């Protein structure tokens, strides 16, 4: 993304809701800057019209001088009040803009496809919410108003200096040209390093997040030293870019101050020489006012040089944020929806949850048909690859009749989980068709399709909150009775009641205070409370010991009764009672049948099954 485009989008975010506040801020900045310049400009009159005459008077009267000082103080007071007000307003504007940007980022993330999260580290994403937005906050609340104030001040001071003395003004302009040339040269080099600094920071945050999540693995394999070495590499890259960028910008202020100091001395000498030579209008008051104005002119130049640091970092952060917002959302062209129906033969649509569903299918002629949701899922010649270069599934054809329990078995990487990811459209197929109750799933809205599916994943994720809230995640409107009933189905009720506060026990750290089996039981209870017509169990009992598995299996049998169920299992003993077992190898279905049929065939399933027992022995 080009920098100009980033600036335009950032300005659009600011002016959208805060146009009036920004206009007021702009007005106050002008008042503040003009007041400060007017105060400096007033020094000429103060010296020439009030102080100088008093020095020559035999009986000086200070009334007029006090009045002039009061006027000068009032001018500065107006400037101070205007500065306080616009700084306060810019803080509110900045926080409001950041709130809007964070809302947009989070809302957009919910619409991104799963593939995006497969290719981006969580730490790098978090860096956009923290580091990148923080650089924006600093720029919007401080650097931007200061930069604009500097510009207004420079314009006002330029006019005032030209009124006082054109020769001295020309000299100041030459000095400023030197300053701007230095700022341009140093700033352009710093900008590239600030951009790399933000990228390196996101990369390092991503690595830290991975190490935190994988700390058990790190310790198990004694990988601490290697992890530290890899972190040092990333940390060094960040240090290098940050040091170069900050070092370049930090030298600007001393350079500007020194040039300003030399300029101040030369103006005094030049002004004195012009006054001695009798140049018209070159009085002591003019020189004093001009010296003050020259400082007021050089100071904004120096301030702008330091603001380059914050502005460049903020633009780099904004670019990363807008890159996230520009990521393509998950495409959903579906128009078939899932609705509740009354328990009759006509599929009468209703709003209350009845336990029976139908697909509401609008047609081009304006008519609507209702297809009862039965759970008939069929694949026809499906090809799929996570990228275009390499297919993972090849010509997969399978079917699951309503109420059937279909199991997928095969070696790791055979494509078992991939098939279930295609059913809920986490990914779209490359070729072929998938039909749900005779309807192409591409025609079904993704939210409705996924609402018809209950999924228990191998990797259980629990959210910060109570046990009851984690179970209710499957159905936000679930009552306490429904939650308890779901927990009993999953055989989680007993262990929940043994927790310190039962269902009100707070879970944090992704359930780190629970055993793997307990976490899995809560995931099963979460699926049970949703009461979906179709279930997908991806190694749902993998974290449960054999004794608990037998008990949970009975509860799950009750949960699966009357539903179409897809089961992924490495433990082949758990799929013996499946209606059909699909054996996959390298993305192809090579066998299908019941447990007994496949054992009799003595093919791949027989080898897997007997080999599993041999290994266990």
Complete domains list, the chain, with CATH: 3-325 (1.20.1560.10), 337-372 (no CATH), 377-616 (3.40.50.300)
Radius of gyration over every alpha carbon of the chain, rounded to an integer in angstroms: 36
Structure tokens at 109: 């993330």
- What are the pLDDT digits (tens) for 234-279? 888 888 888 888 777 777 777 777 777 787 788 788 877 877 776 6
- What are the pLDDT digits (tens) for 89-144? 888 888 888 888 888 888 888 888 888 887 777 777 888 888 888 888 888 888 88
Is residue 590's pLDDT more than 70? yes
Question: For the chain, what percent of residues have pLDDT higher than 90?
Answer: 3
Is residue 433's pLDDT more than 90? yes
- Whether residue 112 contacts residue 325, with contact meaning beta carbons closer than 8 Å, is answered with no
**Phi, psi of 360, rounded to the nearest 5 degrees:** -90, 110
**Which pLDDT does position 383 carry in this prediction?**
92
Residues 6+ apart with CB under 8 A from 30: 152
Report the pLDDT averaged over residues 584-600. 88
Q: Which value, to the nearest 10 degrees, does the dihedral of the CA atoms of residues 237, 243, 246, 250 take?
A: -170
**Which pLDDT does position 381 carry in this prediction?**
92
Whole-angstrom distance, CA of residue 274 vs CA of residue 169: 13
- What are the pLDDT digits (tens) for 76-89? 888 889 889 988 88
Whole-angstrom distance, CA of residue 42 vs CA of residue 65: 12
- What are the pLDDT digits (tens) for 389-432? 788 899 989 888 888 888 888 887 788 888 888 888 888 888 99
Name the band, by pLDDT with cuts 50, 70 and 90, for residue 311. confident
**∠ at Cα 600 (595, 606), nearest 5°?**
65
Is residue 361's pLDDT more than 50? yes
**Which pLDDT does position 280 carry in this prediction?**
61
Report the pLDDT averaged over residues 29-37. 84
Whole-angstrom distance, CA of residue 517 vs CA of residue 527: 15
**Which pLDDT does position 317 carry in this prediction?**
84
SS3 content of the chain, % helix, strand, coil (to 5): 65, 15, 25
Is residue 516's pLDDT more than 80? no
Q: For residues 368 and 177, which has the higher predicted lDDT (pLDDT)?
A: 368
Name the band, by pLDDT with cuts 50, 70 and 90, for residue 439. very high
Is the CA virtual torsion 89, 92, 94, 97 positive or negative? Answer: negative
């Amino acid at each position: 993304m080009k920098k100009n485009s980033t600036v335009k989008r950032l300005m659009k975010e600011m002016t959208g809701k805060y146009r009036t506040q920004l206009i007021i801020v702009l007005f106050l900045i002008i008042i503040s800057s003009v007041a400060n310049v007017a105060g400096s400009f007033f020094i000429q009159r103060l010296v020439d019209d009030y102080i100088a005459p008093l020095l020559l008077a035999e009986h000086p009267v200070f009334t007029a001088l006090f009045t002039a000082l009061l006027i000068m103080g009032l001018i500065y007071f107006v400037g101070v009040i205007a500065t306080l007000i616009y700084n306060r307003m810019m803080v509110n504007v900045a926080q409001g803009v950041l709130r809007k940007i964070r809302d947009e980022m989070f809302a957009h993330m919910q619409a991104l496809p799963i593939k995006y999260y497969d290719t981006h580290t969580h730490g790098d994403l978090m860096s956009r919410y923290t580091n990148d937005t923080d650089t924006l906050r600093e720029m919007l609340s401080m650097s931007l108003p200061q930069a604009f104030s500097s510009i207004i001040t420079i314009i006002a001071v330029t006019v005032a200096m030209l009124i006082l003395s054109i020769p001295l003004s020309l000299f100041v302009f030459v000095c400023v040209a030197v300053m701007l040339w230095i700022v341009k040269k140093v700033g352009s080099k710093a900008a590239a390093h600030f951009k790399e600094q933000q990228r390196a920071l996101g990369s390092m945050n991503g690595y830290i997040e991975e190490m935190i999540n994988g700390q058990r693995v790190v310790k198990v394999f004694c990988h601490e030293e290697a992890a530290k070495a890899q972190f040092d590499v990333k940390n060094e890259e960040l240090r290098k870019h940050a040091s170069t960028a900050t070092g370049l910008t930090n030298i600007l202020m001393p350079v500007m101050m020194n040039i300003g100091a030399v300029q101040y001395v030369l103006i005094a000498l030049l002004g004195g020489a012009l006054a001695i030579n009798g140049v018209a209008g070159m009085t002591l008051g003019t020189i004093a006012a001009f010296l003050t104005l020259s400082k007021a002119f050089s100071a904004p130049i120096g301030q702008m040089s330091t603001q380059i640091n914050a502005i460049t970092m903020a633009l780099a952060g904004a670019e990363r944020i807008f890159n996230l917002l520009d990521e393509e959302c998950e495409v959903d062209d579906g128009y078939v929806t899932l609705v509740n129906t009354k328990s009759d033969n006509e599929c009468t649509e209703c709003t209350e949850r009845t336990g029976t569903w139908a697909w509401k299918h609008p047609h081009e002629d304006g008519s609507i048909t209702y297809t009862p949701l039965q759970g008939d899922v069929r694949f026809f010649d499906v090809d799929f690859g996570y990228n275009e270069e390499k297919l993972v599934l090849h010509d997969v054809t399978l079917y699951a009749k309503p109420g059937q329990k279909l199991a997928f078995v095969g070696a790791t990487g055979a494509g078992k989980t991939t098939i279930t990811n295609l059913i809920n459209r986490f990914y779209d197929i490359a070729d072929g068709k998938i039909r749900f109750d005779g309807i192409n799933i591409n025609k079904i809205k993704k939210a409705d399709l996924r609402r018809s599916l209950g999924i228990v994943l191998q990797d259980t994720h629990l959210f910060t909150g109570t046990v009851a809230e984690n179970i209710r995640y499957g159905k936000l409107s679930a009552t306490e009775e429904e939650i308890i009933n779901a927990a009993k189905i999953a055989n989680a009720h007993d262990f929940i009641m043994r927790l310190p506060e039962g269902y009100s026990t707070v879970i944090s750290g992704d359930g780190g205070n629970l055993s793997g089996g307990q976490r899995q039981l809560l995931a099963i209870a979460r699926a049970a409370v949703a009461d979906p017509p179709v279930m997908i169990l991806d190694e749902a009992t993998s974290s449960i010991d054999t004794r608990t598995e037998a008990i949970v299996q009975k509860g799950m049998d009750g949960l699966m009764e009357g539903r179409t169920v897809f089961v992924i299992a490495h433990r082949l003993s758990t799929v013996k009672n499946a209606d059909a077992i699909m054996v996959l190898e390298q993305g192809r279905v090579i066998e299908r049948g019941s447990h007994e049929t496949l054992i009799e065939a003595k093919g791949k399933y027989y080898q897997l099954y007997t080999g599993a027992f041999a290994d266990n022995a």
